[in-house]
Amino acid sequence: MRLHRITAEVYGKTASQAFSGQGGLFGMGRWHSGGRPIVYSSQHESLAALETLVHLQRSECIQPFVRWEIEVPDHLIAGCGTLPDDWKTNPAATRACGDAWLAGRKSPAMRVPSVNVETEFNFLLNPIHPDFKLGWVVAGPIAFAFDLRLGMR
């Protein structure tokens, strides 16, 4: 499956940087607790942009971004299983799901629902899983800019 990642250029100049999972070490996310290497990616470039955008403050001066594409073999992507009904408003539940997946090391990728677009999916990548390969990267870094109408420059 072709997946998309958008990251600040400073953290994504090379594939090794963009897919290192180092950001997960410094803070928690929707699908992981802090201190765990993890990479967030999306099913579509537009969803990757939206997922990045929801974390940015409106600003007159935004840092440069780059996008990457990675082709993960379908048979190496796990599903997240059944989530509780309140998963969108219960980050503890989604973190527990992601943390269990990371700890179990059963697959290098996991498909999870997007909170922002209910009919689309994000994909978590475990860069320290023995089956994860940087050779899956098929494109990047490619300059990415948010539309100025969003208040980003």
Q: What is the mean pLDDT of residues 51-73?
A: 84
* Predicted local distance difference test score (pLDDT) of residue 147: 80
pTM value is 0.93
pLDDT at 60 over 60: no
Tell me the average pLDDT of the chain.
93
Residue pair 31/40 in contact (Cβ under 8 Å)? The answer is yes
Please give the average per-residue pLDDT across 87-116, as a whole number: 96
Band (119; pLDDT cuts 50, 70, 90): very high
Tens of pLDDT, residues 15-55: 999 999 999 999 899 999 999 999 999 999 999 999 988 87
Average pLDDT of the residues in 54-62: 67
For the chain, first and last CA: distance in Å? 32
What was the pLDDT predicted at 58? 58
Mean per-residue pLDDT, 57-81: 87
C-alpha–C-alpha distance, residues 71 and 52, integer Å: 20
Q: What is the pLDDT of residue 21?
A: 96
Residue among 61, 43, 49 nearest 6 (CA): 49
Contact 148, 61 (CB under 8 A): no
